[in-house]
């Protein structure tokens, strides 16, 4: 039997995590408003589906932006042969300008520093290849996006050292926690090369305040390590406090070594275009820009897509309206959802950004343990039939929290989800012992899903395992929903 | 020491650069290495072209780019298709298909696109091999595909054996971020640079002598830079070799649609089929639309593996380098149109063949011979008779005036790791026929000058 590499045979792709069982449950039994009202509602996917009407309208009105239409085909040849890793100049311009708009014009971005990558997934991996050697580590505040384990470490060999944050202070990152994590890593002979933060945060939906950001900058300057800021949710801000980008801090701080500062960005969340694979690395370090650009050969953005987006994002009127509308609609959806949860007696961490809420179900846990959280999660998947993401999959040190996405469905589906959650909570309150007894009898110890009509075995020729980032869109109610 | 930076309103400006003992303090070893390969003459020629590009009207004395293996001979066919087929441009279901497409980030790829790719690959091979769309893994270009496969098949410090001369980009694609080495399989003009079993064994032994573990052989078929297909018997020998050593075989078939005559290309897929797929789990094919369809900007690469675990793992890894769903949709439409693809393949082949004959004839009339080729977007030109020294320096001494005086950017064989100096790769499909004629005239003049100057066809090093 011919042998594969260690990377190919280890687990760092992350797909063996129990986290994926929620997706599988959804894939096998997806909710549909008419055809499958009992199906699982997908609330584990952080997608922004609230503003497609605006993008569609723009596309209809701008046929020249597509190289396939009669109006645009004269550009076909030039675009099709363009593979320069600098990217189309107009694309870089448009992205730099868009990034500035998202930050309220408070900072300008230099198109010469824009480096492309295969989505933010590619961007995060690329920046690690530039900054760290195999075996090195990055500090990452938890709870954090589960796929960071794969993105930062699978092929790079870089490790994540979590900086645990908990509800005692609203999950804020403290200097003490950073120092503690850094010191412990030193003791364990782990070489920390940098700190990676997501701001706005996934899964918290909160933004970092100015003082915290400044203290992070001081921290990395002190230790002479890098700071990578994943600002992929920057335009999903829907309420105060304001979003402060690291780029603004750079302008304000008297002393900050720019060679340490790098931003990761993407259009997957802010513009709802995950399929287009637009990842951006923006570094203030010239060597990283140069090296990163060469590496971008491994994940360039399709020139066809660059061409379309260059036109779309440089349409200032469209961008202004889109950002405004998106923010409004997210706020409306967030409020409707959190109010509905509140009616059921469920609170969430106070948040003002993101496509999800960080739901507090600690009081529903039998005991404050990981096992109890997983047990509750299985019930939510199997009985409430809502795919939410357990806090443990985000490496949250405190059990009982769940991330629930709310922007990837229509209003009606939100209602159904809220009704189900409400009913479940009432059932928990009313028939506690009785229900518990009943449930523990039926619940298998481990989440066993039967795969009678889907081939799951990896040994077979045609694996059907879906990535968590890839809903089986044709079955999703969202395809037929209108916004 | 830190650099002081002054911020202007718009830009970051480096005010004072302070010399640092280590300019790259705090970056990775990968970042500071030069394994990206951009310091090679291969890229220096490109820079010369970028600074002074030929244009028929506005810059007729500029550098003609003959170092870029692009296929520009068949765009009219693609444009015509688009003009006649609205559905390729309208997201499928009118603009409302936009949402579905924009959301689609499944690393399996659009099923319709995978099917179309598999079917296109079959058509290129004249139906002599079957491709299962479930084994097609999509990546953003063959650059990504080759790197991704290397991550899966080899550990850092291990080696892949690659026949010389080879595509200069492999140095970066196979080695840079993976930490994997390339050990060359030396090929010589004495037998038209064909890969021999002796050369395979010698390369394997070279690696062993250096204590390096060999994980596979990577061939390019048709070959870049040779512009020639690999013979069936050679493919059989290579397959036997990798089976004996229990290692992998990667066949980069990126130029498979650019063979001038369909019957002359044998894909490793056909050889496997003839063997009823025995021992096939070690074989992986890389393909792309950058050369055959002339669409390098769209970043469409694929890995086709006969190994289930490789398919699964490659698919997971492709998350770092997925193809834009917008592009998948367009190409799914185009490539599922069998009438269109059949006509395209046939016409493209014919035009490339004509172009090839034109350049060969032009070079011959200037007294220059090329390796007999039957595929690709370039010819492998032999200028070794002109070298004063049969060395790499002698070759570069010839390349320099070619670039700066004759103003032709051609690729020196040494950048392709050719073991014999004096060979050059010359691309012919990335320009109009008129431009090719201009290039041939310049070569003719150059050769006449040499004859007049030296009388005995020798270039002196300067």
Encode pLDDT of A467-480 as tens digits.
Answer: 444 433 333 332 22
Residue B72 to residue A259, Cβ atoms within 8 A = no
Query: Does B294 lie at the interface with A, CB-CB under 8 angstroms?
Result: yes
Residue A129 to residue B177, Cβ atoms within 8 A = yes
The pairing of beta strand A386-387 with beta strand A41-42: parallel
Q: How many Å apart are CA A290 and CA A284, to the nearest integer?
A: 11
Contacting residues of B for A108, CB less than 8 Å apart = 9-11
B325: number of Cβ within 10 Å:
26
Residue B10 to residue A110, Cβ atoms within 8 A = yes
For the question of residue B291 being annotated catalytic, the response is yes
Residue B320 to residue A134, Cβ atoms within 8 A = no
Contacting residues of A for B99, CB less than 8 Å apart = 49, 52, 56, 479
| pLDDT over 80 at B81, yes or no | yes
Q: Which sequence positions of A are flagged as catalytic?
A: 145, 230, 232, 269
Q: What is the pLDDT of residue B38?
A: 81
Q: What is the pLDDT of residue B59?
A: 95
Q: How many Å apart are CA A393 and CA A401, to the nearest integer?
A: 10
pLDDT tens for A204-251 read 999 999 999 999 999 999 999 999 999 999 999 999 999 999 999 998
Q: E strands along B91-196, which residues? A: 136-139, 159-163, 181-185
Q: Distance (Å) from the C-alpha of residue B401 to the closest C-alpha of chain A?
A: 27
Query: Does B81 lie at the interface with A, CB-CB under 8 angstroms?
Result: no
The one catalytic residue in B166, B185, B195, B291 is B291
pLDDT band at B456 (very low <50, low <70, confident <90, very high): low
| pLDDT over 90 at A361, yes or no | yes
Q: What is the pLDDT of residue A254?
A: 80
Q: Distance (Å) from the C-alpha of residue B329 to the closest C-alpha of chain A?
A: 11
The three-state secondary structure class of A42 is strand
A304: number of Cβ within 10 Å:
26
List the structure tokens of A29.
């039994």
Residue B308 to residue A461, Cβ atoms within 8 A = yes
Query: Does B138 lie at the interface with A, CB-CB under 8 angstroms?
Result: no
Residue B152 to residue A108, Cβ atoms within 8 A = no
Q: How many Å apart are CA A130 and CA A134, to the nearest integer?
A: 11
List the structure tokens of A161.
């050292």
Contacting residues of A for B23, CB less than 8 Å apart = 287
DSSP-derived letter for residue A228 is E
Q: Are residues A140 and A162 in contact, defined by beta-carbon separation less than 8 angstroms?
A: yes
Q: Are residues B359 and B380 in contact, defined by beta-carbon separation less than 8 angstroms?
A: no
* Alpha helices by DSSP H, A356-444: 370-379, 411-430, 432-442
Q: Are residues A349 and A170 in contact, defined by beta-carbon separation less than 8 angstroms?
A: yes
Q: What is the pLDDT of residue B94?
A: 58
pLDDT higher at A19 or B204: B204
Residue B323 to residue A300, Cβ atoms within 8 A = no
Q: Are residues B214 and B245 in contact, defined by beta-carbon separation less than 8 angstroms?
A: yes
Q: Where is average pLDDT lowest: A83-92, B22-31, B43-52, B419-428? A: B22-31
Residue in B75, B153, B298 closest to A304 by CB: B298
pLDDT tens for A121-171 read 999 999 999 999 999 999 999 999 999 999 999 999 999 999 999 999 999
pLDDT tens for B133-153 read 999 999 999 999 999 999 999
Burial label for A28, CB within 10 Å (0-12, 13-18, 19+), is: middle
Q: How many Å apart are CA B136 and CA A105, to the nearest integer?
A: 44
Q: Quote the ipTM score.
A: 0.90
Size of interface A-B (CB pairs under 8 A): 283
pLDDT tens for A285-311 read 999 999 999 999 999 999 999 999 999
The pairing of beta strand A401-405 with beta strand A356-360: antiparallel
Residue-level length of chain A = 483
Residue in B28, B78, B324 closest to A301 by CB: B324
Q: What angle do CA A126, B175, B204 make, to 5 degrees?
A: 155
| pLDDT over 70 at B276, yes or no | yes
Q: Which residues, 6+ apart, have CB-to-CB distance to A332 below 8 Å?
A: none
CA dihedral for A369, A372, A376, A378, sign (positive or negative): positive
| pLDDT over 80 at A74, yes or no | yes
pLDDT tens for A166-176 read 999 999 999 99
| pLDDT over 80 at A459, yes or no | no
Query: Does B152 lie at the interface with A, CB-CB under 8 angstroms?
Result: yes
Q: What is the pLDDT of residue A417?
A: 96
Q: What is the pLDDT of residue B452?
A: 86
Contacting residues of B for A8, CB less than 8 Å apart = 151-153, 309-310, 313
List the structure tokens of A394.
């985000």
The three-state secondary structure class of B239 is helix
Residue A298 to residue B281, Cβ atoms within 8 A = no
* E strand or H helix that includes residue B382: strand B378-382
Query: pTM score, two decimals?
Result: 0.91
Q: How many Å apart are CA B257 and CA B260, to the nearest integer?
A: 8
| pLDDT over 90 at A432, yes or no | no
- pLDDT cut 90: percent of chain B above it: 81
Residue B299: left if φ>0, alpha if ψ -120 to 50, beta else—which one? left
Q: How many Å apart are CA B226 and CA B214, to the nearest integer?
A: 25
Q: Are residues A202 and A264 in contact, defined by beta-carbon separation less than 8 angstroms?
A: no
Residue A68 to residue B28, Cβ atoms within 8 A = no
Q: Where is average pLDDT lowest: A3-7, A439-443, B19-23, B377-381? A: B19-23
Contacting residues of A for B82, CB less than 8 Å apart = 67-68, 73, 76
| pLDDT over 90 at B89, yes or no | no
Q: What is the pLDDT of residue B262?
A: 77
Q: What is the pLDDT of residue A431?
A: 65
Which single residue is written with the structure tokens 């789990």? Answer: B281
The three-state secondary structure class of A319 is helix
Q: What is the pLDDT of residue B18?
A: 40
Q: Distance (Å) from the C-alpha of residue B212 to the closest C-alpha of chain A?
A: 15
pLDDT tens for B113-129 read 999 999 999 999 999 99
Q: Are residues A293 and A259 in contact, defined by beta-carbon separation less than 8 angstroms?
A: no
Contacting residues of B for A155, CB less than 8 Å apart = 151, 177, 317, 320
List the structure tokens of A12.
């760092």
Q: Which residues, 6+ apart, have CB-to-CB distance to B65 below 8 Å?
A: B46, B49, B53, B54, B409, B427, B430, B431
Q: Where is average pLDDT lowest: A206-210, A389-393, A432-436, B144-148? A: A432-436
Question: A74, A89, A297: which to substitute to probe chain B, counting the most B Cβ within 10 Å?
Answer: A297
For chain B, the average pLDDT equals 90
Please provide the distance, in angstroms rounded to a whole number, between the alpha carbons at the two ends of chain A.
Answer: 53
Q: Distance (Å) from the C-alpha of residue A177 to the closest C-alpha of chain B?
A: 23
Q: What is the pLDDT of residue B96?
A: 64
Residue in A76, A294, A304 closest to B326 by CB: A304
Q: How many Å apart are CA B85 and CA A309, to the nearest integer?
A: 22
Burial label for B112, CB within 10 Å (0-12, 13-18, 19+), is: middle
Question: A1, A5, A227, A271: which to substitute to probe chain B, counting the most B Cβ within 10 Å?
Answer: A5
pLDDT higher at A254 or A375: A375
- Rounded (10°) angle between helices A52-61 and A316-343: 160
Q: What is the pLDDT of residue B5?
A: 30
Q: Distance (Å) from the C-alpha of residue A133 to the closest C-alpha of chain B?
A: 5
Tell me what the mean pLDDT of segment B296-303 comes to. 97
Q: Distance (Å) from the C-alpha of residue A58 to the closest C-alpha of chain B?
A: 10
For chain A, the average pLDDT equals 89
List the structure tokens of A202.
């996934």
| pLDDT over 80 at B80, yes or no | yes
């Amino acid at each position: 039997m011919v042998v594969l590499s260690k990377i190919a045979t280890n687990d760092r792709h992350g797909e063996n995590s129990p986290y994926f069982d929620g997706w599988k449950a959804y894939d096998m039994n997806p909710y549909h408003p008419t055809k499958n009202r009992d199906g699982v509602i997908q609330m584990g996917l952080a997608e922004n589906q609230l503003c497609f009407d605006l993008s569609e309208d723009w596309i209809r009105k701008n046929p020249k932006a597509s190289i396939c239409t009669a109006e645009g085909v004269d550009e076909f040849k030039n675009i099709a042969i363009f593979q320069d890793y600098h990217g189309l100049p107009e694309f870089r311009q448009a992205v730099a300008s868009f990034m500035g708009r998202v930050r309220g014009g408070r900072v300008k971005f230099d198109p010469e520093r824009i480096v492309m990558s295969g989505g933010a997934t590619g961007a995060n991996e690329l920046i690690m290849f530039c900054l760290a050697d195999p075996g090195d580590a990055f500090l990452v505040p938890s709870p954090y996006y589960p796929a960071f384990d794969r993105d930062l470490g699978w092929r790079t060999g870089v490790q994540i050292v979590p900086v645990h944050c908990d509800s005692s202070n609203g999950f804020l990152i403290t200097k003490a926690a950073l120092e503690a994590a850094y010191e412990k890593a030193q003791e364990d002979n782990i070489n920390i090369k940098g700190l990676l933060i997501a701001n706005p945060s996934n899964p918290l939906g909160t933004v970092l305040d100015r003082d915290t950001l400044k203290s992070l900058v001081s921290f990395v300057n002190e230790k002479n390590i890098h700071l990578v800021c994943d600002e992929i949710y920057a335009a999903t801000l829907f309420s105060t406090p304001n979003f402060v980008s690291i780029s603004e801090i750079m302008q304000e701080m008297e002393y900050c070594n720019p060679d340490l500062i790098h931003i990761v960005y993407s259009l997957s969340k802010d513009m709802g275009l995950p399929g287009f694979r637009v990842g951006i690395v923006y570094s203030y370090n010239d060597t990283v820009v140069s090296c990163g650009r060469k590496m971008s050969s491994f994940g360039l953005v399709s020139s066809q897509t660059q061409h379309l987006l260059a036109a779309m994002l440089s349409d200032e009127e469209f961008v202004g309206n889109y950002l405004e509308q998106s923010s409004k609609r997210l706020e409306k959806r967030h409020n409707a959802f959190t109010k509905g949860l509140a009616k059921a007696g469920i609170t969430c961490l106070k948040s003002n950004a993101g496509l999800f809420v960080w739901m507090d179900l600690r009081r529903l846990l039998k005991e404050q343990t990981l096992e109890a959280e997983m047990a509750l999660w299985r019930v939510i998947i199997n009985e409430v039939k809502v795919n939410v993401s357990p806090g443990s999959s985000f490496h949250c040190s405190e059990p009982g929290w769940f991330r629930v996405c709310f922007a990837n469905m229509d209003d009606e589906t939100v209602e159904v989800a809220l009704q189900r959650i409400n009913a479940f909570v009432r059932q928990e309150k009313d028939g506690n012992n009785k229900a518990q007894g009943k449930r523990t009898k039926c619940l298998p110890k481990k989440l066993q899903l039967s795969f009678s009509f889907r081939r799951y075995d990896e040994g077979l020729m045609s694996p059907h395992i879906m990535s968590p980032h890839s809903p089986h869109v044709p079955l999703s109610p969202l395809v037929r929903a209108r916004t | 020491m830190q650099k002081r930076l002054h911020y202007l309103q718009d830009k970051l400006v480096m005010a004072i650069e302070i010399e640092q003992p280590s300019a790259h303090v705090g970056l990775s070893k990968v970042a500071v290495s030069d394994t990206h390969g951009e310091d090679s003459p291969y890229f220096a020629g490109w820079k010369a072209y970028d600074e002074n590009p030929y244009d028929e009207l506005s810059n007729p004395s500029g550098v003609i780019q003959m170092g870029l293996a692009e296929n520009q001979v068949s765009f009219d066919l693609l444009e015509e298709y688009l003009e006649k087929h609205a559905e390729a441009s309208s997201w499928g279901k009118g603009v409302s298909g936009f949402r579905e497409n924009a959301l689609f980030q499944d690393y399996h790829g659009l099923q319709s696109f995978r099917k179309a790719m598999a079917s296109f690959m079959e058509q290129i091979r004249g139906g002599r091999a079957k491709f299962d769309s479930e084994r097609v893994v999509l990546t953003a270009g063959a650059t990504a595909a080759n790197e991704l496969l290397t991550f899966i098949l080899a550990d850092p410090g291990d080696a892949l054996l690659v026949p010389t001369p080879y595509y200069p980009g492999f140095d970066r694609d196979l080695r840079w971020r993976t930490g994997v080495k390339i050990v060359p399989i030396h090929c010589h003009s004495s037998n038209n640079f064909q890969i021999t079993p002796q050369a395979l064994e010698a390369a394997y032994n070279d690696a062993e002598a250096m204590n390096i573990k060999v994980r596979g052989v990577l061939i390019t078929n048709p070959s870049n830079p040779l512009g020639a297909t690999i013979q069936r018997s050679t493919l059989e020998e290579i397959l036997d070799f990798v089976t004996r050593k229990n290692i992998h075989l990667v066949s980069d078939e990126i130029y498979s649609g650019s063979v001038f005559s369909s019957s002359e290309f044998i894909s490793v897929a056909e050889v496997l089929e003839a063997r009823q797929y025995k021992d096939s789990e070690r074989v992986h094919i890389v393909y792309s639309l950058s050369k055959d369809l002339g669409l390098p900007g769209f970043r469409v690469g694929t890995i086709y593996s006969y190994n289930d675990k490789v398919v699964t793992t490659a698919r997971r890894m492709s998350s770092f380098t997925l193809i834009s769903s917008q592009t998948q949709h367009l190409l799914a439409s185009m490539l599922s149109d069998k009438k269109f693809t059949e006509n395209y393949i046939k016409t493209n082949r014919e035009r490339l063949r004509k172009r090839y004959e034109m350049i060969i004839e032009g070079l011959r009339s200037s007294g220059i011979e090329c390796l007999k080729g039957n595929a690709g977007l370039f010819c492998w030109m032999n200028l070794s008779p002109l070298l004063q020294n049969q060395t790499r320096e002698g070759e570069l001494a010839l390349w320099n005036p070619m670039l700066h005086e004759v103003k032709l950017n051609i690729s020196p064989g040494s950048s392709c790791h050719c073991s014999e100096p004096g060979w050059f790769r010359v691309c012919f499909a990335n320009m109009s026929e008129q431009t090719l004629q201009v290039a041939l005239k310049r070569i003719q003049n150059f050769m006449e000058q040499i004859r007049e100057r030296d009388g005995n066809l020798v270039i002196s090093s300067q």
